[in-house]
Structure 1
Amino acid sequence: MALGVNEEPRCHSRHAVYDEGVNTRPAAGLAERKRQLVSDELTEAALQLMARKGFDAVTVDEIVATAGVSKRTFFRYFASKEDVVVQFLTAMGTGIHGALADRPAGEPPSVALRHAVQVPLAECAGHSERTLRVVRLILRTPALLARFLERQEQWREDLAAELARRAGSGAEAGLHDRLAAGTALVVFNTVLRSWCDGDGAEDPAVLTDRAFAVIAPALDASGR
C-alpha cells in the first residue's frame, strides 16, 4: 500500500495504537516504528517495480511515486536506488557478528563461525519467497552485487575483530583472523547463491555444514 502524500505512513489496523492515545511507549519508539514503516514501503515499492521492469529501468522518481512520498523523503532513508535493495540484506552482517559474539568462549573458530553464518541464512529460508526475490535481484545485477560485496568488507573486519577478542590475546585482528572471517563470508555467499539457484529447495543449514566440513581444519589451525 502506498504512503499518503503527506509523507507519513498511513496506520494499518495493527498500528491503530498511534492515534488512540493509550500507548505508553516512549515517543522515540513510535517515531522509529514510523520510520521503519516508511522504509519498508519504499523497499516494497522498489522491489515490485524492479521485478516487473528490471533494476536498470526503474528510477527513483518511479519508486517515490509508487510509495507516495517525496524524493526528499526517499533520500533521507537511502543514498541511492541500489541501497533500497541492498539494505534488505545488510542486517545480515550485524546478525553474523552478533551470533559470533554470543557463541561460548573456547569454542573452535570453525564451530563458532558456522553457527554464526547459519543465523541469517536460516532467516532467509524462513522468508523464502520475498528473500529469493531480493537475492536474485542482487546476484544478477552487477551494480547491486558490487554494493553488496562492498558492504561485506566491513563485515569481514568486524568478524576478524571478534575472532581476535575471542582468542583472548588482547592483540588486534591479524592475518589468520582476517582469513578466517573472509573464508566464512565466502561460505555465506556460496550458500546464498546455491540456495537461490535452487529456488530455495535446498536447506541452507545442510549446505553450510558441508562447506564448513571442508574448511574447518584451516580455520582451527593456530595462526597466532
Structure 2
Amino acid sequence: MAKQDDLWTRSRQAAYAEITRVAMELFLEQGFDGTTIDQIAATAGISRRSFFRYFGTKEDIVLGDLANQGALVREILESIPVSVPPWEALREALWRVDGEGLQSEVALKIAKMMYETPSLRARSIEKHLQWQEQLVPNIRLRLGVEADDATDPAADAIVAGAIACLDVAGQIWARSDGALDLAELYDRAVRAVGHPG
C-alpha cells in the first residue's frame, strides 16, 4: 500500500508541476488576465474540474509556492541561534530562501506580472500574512518574550516590517527591469524604516 501511495503522490506532483509549467508559459505569453482557466486546462490536457483538484484559484498557480517558502523561512529562522538579533536573523532567513535564483529573467517576468496584476498582488499580501504568523513566535523568543505571548506588538511589527521591506524591494527591482540589486534594495528599505540594517 505504501508503494501505491508513493506512486499516487509522485503522479500528483508531476501533474501539479505540468499544469504550473503550462500555465506559467501562457501567463508570460499572453498575460495573467488574458489567460483563462479553461485555456490552462485545455493546454494541459485536463478538465476544468481536474484543474480545481490542484489549484483553488488561478492566482495560486503563480503564488502557490509562496506559502511553502514561508515554511522554509521559518525552518531556517529556527536554525539560526536565538542570540542573533531579530532583523539580522530575518534577513539571513529571507535571503537563504529568496536570494538564490530570484534575479533570473523568468523571475523578473513573474515579478512584473505579480506587481501589475491587482488580484495577484492581493493574494501575495495574503500569503505574506501567513508568513507573519509563522515567523512571529521565533522573533518573540529573540526579544525575550514568550513565543505565544500575543500582548507585545514588537515581534509582529518587526516581521511585518521585514516582509514589507522585501515586498517594496521586489517591486522596485521589477520596475528597474532587474537592473538594481534586490538585496541592496532590501537593505535600503530596512534602513529607511529606522533599522541600521
- Closer, same or farther in 2 for the Cα pair 1:178/1:169, shift >3 Å? closer
Q: Which ranges of structure 1 fall in alignment gaps of 5 or more residues?
A: 1-24, 220-224
Q: Which residue of 115, 140, 143 corresponds with 1:164?
A: 140
State the distance in 1 between where 2:99 and 2:115 align: 19
Greater mean alpha carbon deviation, residues 191-200 or residues 180-189: 191-200
- Closer, same or farther in 2 for the Cα pair 1:209/1:27, shift >3 Å? farther
- Closer, same or farther in 2 for the Cα pair 1:208/1:28, shift >3 Å? farther
Deviation readout 1:23-69 (Å, 9 max, x if unpaired): xx955444333222211211121122222322222211110111112
Is 1:99 aligned to 2:76, yes or no?
Answer: yes
State the distance in 2 between where 1:88 and 1:177 align: 25
Name the residue aligned to 2:172: 194
Q: Which residue of 106, 109, 113 corresponds with 2:86?
A: 109
State the distance in 2 between where 1:217 and 1:132 align: 28
Identity of aligned residues (%): 35
Contact 1:88 1:134 in 2 (8 A): no
Deviation readout 1:105-160 (Å, 9 max, x if unpaired): 2111111111122123313436x122222221111100111111111111112211
Deviation readout 1:148-181 (Å, 9 max, x if unpaired): 1111111112211221234454252430111001
Q: Secondary structure at the match of 1:201?
A: coil
Contact 1:110 1:216 in 2 (8 A): no
Aligned residue identity for 2:17: D
Matched residue pairs, number? Answer: 194
State the distance in 2 between where 1:29 and 1:216 align: 49
- Closer, same or farther in 2 for the Cα pair 1:120/1:192, shift >3 Å? farther
State the distance in 2 between where 1:46 and 1:97 align: 28
Normalized against structure 2, the TM-score is what? Answer: 0.85
Larger radius of gyration: 1
Name the residue aligned to 2:106: 130
Report the Cα offset of residue 75 of structure 1.
0.8
Normalized against structure 1, the TM-score is what? Answer: 0.76
Contact 1:191 1:204 in 2 (8 A): yes
Contact 1:164 1:177 in 2 (8 A): yes
Q: Which ranges of structure 2 fall in alignment gaps of 5 or more residues?
A: none
State the distance in 2 between where 1:149 and 1:51 align: 21
Q: How does 1:4-83 map to 2 (within 5 A)?
A: 26-83=3-60
State the distance in 1 between where 2:177 and 2:76 align: 26
State the distance in 2 between where 1:129 and 1:30 align: 34
- Closer, same or farther in 2 for the Cα pair 1:46/1:158, shift >3 Å? same
